[in-house]
């Protein structure tokens, strides 16, 4: 994709959905970022003598919201921000280009504060909410994929520790925990909500 000089390009980078931006380095390091695709699209389309229209969507913000995945929401928004910056940098170098940025719609009902912060909400610090997000190296979807079929409690706790800095692995027990082993994605996202003081109004559902 980076080398092509063709006037028309169709980029197909995954058999199904592309990886979340934060998860790309682990699961699909060869997939381009939204910003990289935006830059290449502008490079190709800007050669047209009559100008061009380019539509760029950060679609997985929506998916992460449906899944109640705060790490996914924040990192996908940052990936979209980077793509917008690419477009703005191009527009600033010209006097005939406009960039419009719109949100789609809200879902999930992400908010700050939950049942665990009822008595401390007024004293919640910025860092207490942001620090858990900064520590994350995988989204909840990425963690569930990383856990795979090995759903012992010790395995799940170890992946959470490495990916979110969430506690220490439990070396005393190797039998599957009934809650953790049945639905790792659900427990991963709940764990992060509790640690970062977040709450969602809607229950997670599959994207579509």
Q: What is the CATH number of the domain that holds 128?
A: 1.10.60
Task: Judge whether 126 lies within some domain.
Answer: yes
Range of the domain at 122: 110-200
**What tens digit of pLDDT does each residue of 2-39 get?**
788 888 899 999 999 999 999 999 999 999 999 999 99
Residue 160 parent element (H or E): helix 153-164
Q: Quick one: pLDDT at residue 130?
A: 86
Task: Judge whether 76 lies within some domain.
Answer: no
**What tens digit of pLDDT does each residue of 94-138 get?**
999 999 999 887 788 888 888 788 888 888 888 888 888 888 999
Residue 198 parent element (H or E): strand 198-200
Dist. CA 90–CA 189, nearest whole Å = 37
Residue 86 parent element (H or E): helix 70-92
Q: Quick one: pLDDT at residue 189?
A: 66
Task: Judge whether 90 lies within some domain.
Answer: no
- Output the pTM of the full model: 0.83
Q: Quick one: pLDDT at residue 169?
A: 40
Task: Judge whether 41 lies within some domain.
Answer: no
Task: Judge whether 57 lies within some domain.
Answer: no
Domain count, the chain: 1
- Residues pairing with 200 in the sheet: 110
For the chain, what is the mean pLDDT?
A: 84
CB neighbourhood size of 124 (10 A): 14
Is the pLDDT higher at 30 or at 149? 30
Task: Judge whether 44 lies within some domain.
Answer: no
Is the pLDDT higher at 202 or at 147? 147
Task: Judge whether 158 lies within some domain.
Answer: yes
Q: Quick one: pLDDT at residue 52?
A: 96
> Sign of torsion, CA 139 141 144 148?
negative
| Mean pLDDT (whole number) for 171-179 | 41
- What angle (nearest 5°) sits at the alpha carbon of residue 27, between those of residues 23 and 30? 100
Task: Judge whether 129 lies within some domain.
Answer: yes
Q: Quick one: pLDDT at residue 119?
A: 85
| Mean pLDDT (whole number) for 148-169 | 78
**What tens digit of pLDDT does each residue of 84-105 get?**
999 999 999 999 999 999 988 7
| Mean pLDDT (whole number) for 58-77 | 92
Grouping H, G, I as helix, E, B as strand and the rest as coil, residue 175 is coil
């Amino acid at each position: 994709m980076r080398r092509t000089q063709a006037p028309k390009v169709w980029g197909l980078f995954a058999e199904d959905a592309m990886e979340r931006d934060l998860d790309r380095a682990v699961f699909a390091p060869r997939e381009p970022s939204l910003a990289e695709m935006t830059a290449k699209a502008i490079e190709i389309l800007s050669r047209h003598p009559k100008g061009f229209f380019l539509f760029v969507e950060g679609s997985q913000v929506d998916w992460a919201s449906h899944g109640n995945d705060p790490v996914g929401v924040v990192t996908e928004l940052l990936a979209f921000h980077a793509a917008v910056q690419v477009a703005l940098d191009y527009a600033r170098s010209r006097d005939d280009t406009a960039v419009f940025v719109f949100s789609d719609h809200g879902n999930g009902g992400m908010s700050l504060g939950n049942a665990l912060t009822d008595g401390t909400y007024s004293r919640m610090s910025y860092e207490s909410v942001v620090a858990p997000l900064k520590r994350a190296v995988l989204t909840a979807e990425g963690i569930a994929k990383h856990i795979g079929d090995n759903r012992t409690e010790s395995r799940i706790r170890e992946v959470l520790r490495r990916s979110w800095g969430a506690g220490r692995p439990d070396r005393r027990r190797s039998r599957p925990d009934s809650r953790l082993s049945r639905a790792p994605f659900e427990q991963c996202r709940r764990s992060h909500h509790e640690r970062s003081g977040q709450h969602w109004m809607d229950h997670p559902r599959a994207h579509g």
